[in-house]
Structure 1
């Protein structure tokens, strides 16, 4: 916004201090004139001020002398107020200067700088602490976005490079089997399309531009389980669903994507034989939750803490038909946060993973949480 130049805050505070000091001095002199000088001339008695009244009663101290003294006092107060006010305003506004310098540095791209304003808490220090917290969050967000962009570029470049290599081989080899080439190109293209759709879904959920409606998490769990049951049977896995009706509010399509991603991950990252997936819904005083557990390899807490990051696929990068694009839990995290929920990942003691998505419960007919 374009603004016309004006007085600085320091100068305004200085003028305010000086003006207030001048006003106080003028009022004090007026009190002296009204209550002391006039009363002394009229012979009125003022307790404990007899010596001062004798001075006022002398012939040498008349209105003209009082006016000269008053003018000198007011001039002194003006100079003292301006100098003192300028110094005091500078000391008071010093924290604001540091905050302004940090803001300029952040505008120029330096998000690692922190104000760290010393001293006891006051309004300026609360502002500085809030600004430091904002800078830390921005720095972490920018770093995450850069890492995500680099990973997405790498993931998108891989299928394109494979397609180019396949086409180069087909062009140089006249005896290349066309059917096999088409199948491999189709698989690679499908992977690229899935990755692109996952990125778009991630962006849409992050913007929170979706309609909200009543959703029952137990129904979503049943639908996701039925959809992925053929994949589970193909891998000789057992899926067990249980729990209560869990009403929430949000986008049915996005929450179904959350449930589907969780069940899909639990199937893919499981034991090679006789594995199990448990899908459970539960109701709490203020929230509802869906929990997906699976058997599998033992995971450390350090590894589990990174699984929700984009393009993380557990203990190793998988490249089979059902490995996904590495955005499953990242999408779950974004959609959950967009619904004001929480995502908790916990390694199971016997191996595998427990993932819980907790969302605010939908209000009942009376407006109370169910």
Structure 2
């Protein structure tokens, strides 16, 4: 191995949740996958593209299981590990569960990266798991062409408190707990155009654990939750609309934008995944004619370890806002609503 190691991001063709297969392609792949037989205790499977699988253990416990992994979006191995672990644990929180332990998924180009660098990736992931109060209890590793890291994450909740992305009701308010722009910031990072403040915003957002999940599950009026990741706000809102059989309206100007993201988006910085996302929505997303292209790019921007999108009865919305802001999510905002109509997303400018 050379004494000078390559940048982590130089070894990967993509990074973070921007690595996801486009939603329309994924749907096509899954359509040809044989359906499994019905299992009475499988509460949540693949039917509505939810964040994790849920298996009823008994009358008091349901097991939430998920896996998530990707290639690096930053060069610091410790930060890469932290981001990937927070992103994987997010799916457990989004289902209203409390994580109990994790397993590491590791694929590394051993001939190009030192054991010390690979070890720092694992240390970063373990540090976030420790913050969540769970051990990394094992895992599996392979020698791969591109660096890959992530987790299998397991959690527990009460069967009656499972949160899904399909329970939204007409009249619900929509709350998003984090700002948008992770994909734009990571693209600028790879181009050498990201300033220190932007990097700080990127790391701060992607390593923040979505801990409100279990508390939301215990609140009256919370009807649906999903985390906003690789398909962008509009893509995950569309999944919520299809799951409920209702129309979702998004106020384009409502979400907070991460530091540096608006200027970069206006300058034309965006990810290939953002373009693929927009193409994949297949006409089910309608934009206000006055919406500028840079704003659309941020609404379709892939969010690695993004915020929770919460559908909540309007009378409970203030309580939810107070909860998430008290837990440190200062960027939480009401970003739209749910109404009767065809399963689709309508984006309003200047709302």
What range is the shorter-chain TM-score in?
under 0.3
Compute the TM-score of the two structures, normalised by the length of structure 2: 0.24
Q: Name the structure where strand makes up a greater proportion of residues.
A: 2
Highest relative contact order (Cα 8 Å, sep 6+), 1 or 2? 2
Q: Which has the larger radius of gyration?
A: 1
Compute the TM-score of the two structures, normalised by the length of structure 1: 0.23
